[in-house]
Structure 1
């Protein structure tokens, strides 16, 4: 196999009092136990984004799109707010375009009762438009069933990280090899 796959975990909520940072840290700990990927974490709360989409990219936008460009694959950590994903996440996704193309995207979602799955289904539509490959397997759990480490208490949900990352690594290597062999045409 090629060199290690560069995976970017993107924490999509910026709300005060959010669970996103803890969920993202839990996921990162699980992912860093693997030796077939190199994980970086980008928390949207740490970026300076403009309130309106400007005519020219700001330094915060450029820093974010550079992170997207460097990655071979993505894991989006998203809550479900009112049956959808956060506006902060949509804004950040839209700052990049070519940087997303022909790369795989996986999801870690959380929410009340529906485990963030409505957010994931809407994100699949957005990422399809950006020419990514979204993975079938997700890590999804009820926010009311979160353990002290920020992850799910449910053992099945905890165990779903491995198969999801197995798929992400497979797709990441396949798509990276394809991009190197022939430039992607959007």
Structure 2
């Protein structure tokens, strides 16, 4: 759980105006912004990862998935047949990637983060395959994480490019979380994934 604390800034005593060359002011300005945690704007964050999560996780804790929270951007289908992986009941989600039909095994934890437990017929989380994050509950621009780390089979890294990207849907244009997904196995390949609130993934573009 992230905690956001707002601290009231004290009013400094006015000092006499002193003209200084811009080159001498820039280092101090950069340091000041770093120390104050200057925001890039609503929904933005530095590209430093996802706070409070270990990604990839060495092993899932089944108790964390017994009472899943809601992920507004990627609500998993309810009532579908589940597949147990590492003691967790995962939801099979089918889609088309690179022209091939695949079925990913996903589960949402109690905080609303969606995790990737494997792909049917290819790999599953286990003693040598850590748990990868599919989509956090509250994605922010600049967030980056490891989606999977199945050595030699599927190794992906994700970066949030936008949280209000316009995308055309059957219900008209809507705002979506836009992800850039890149493969460690072939860094030249990448794809864009769009997620609309209360709908889920609406577009996958290579």
TM above 0.5: no
Larger Rg over CA atoms: 2
Structure 1 or 2: more helix by fraction: 1
TM-score of the pair, normalised by structure 1: 0.32
TM-score (norm 2): 0.30
Q: Higher strand fraction: Structure 1 or Structure 2?
A: 2
Q: Which has the higher contact order (CA 8 A, sep 6+)?
A: 1
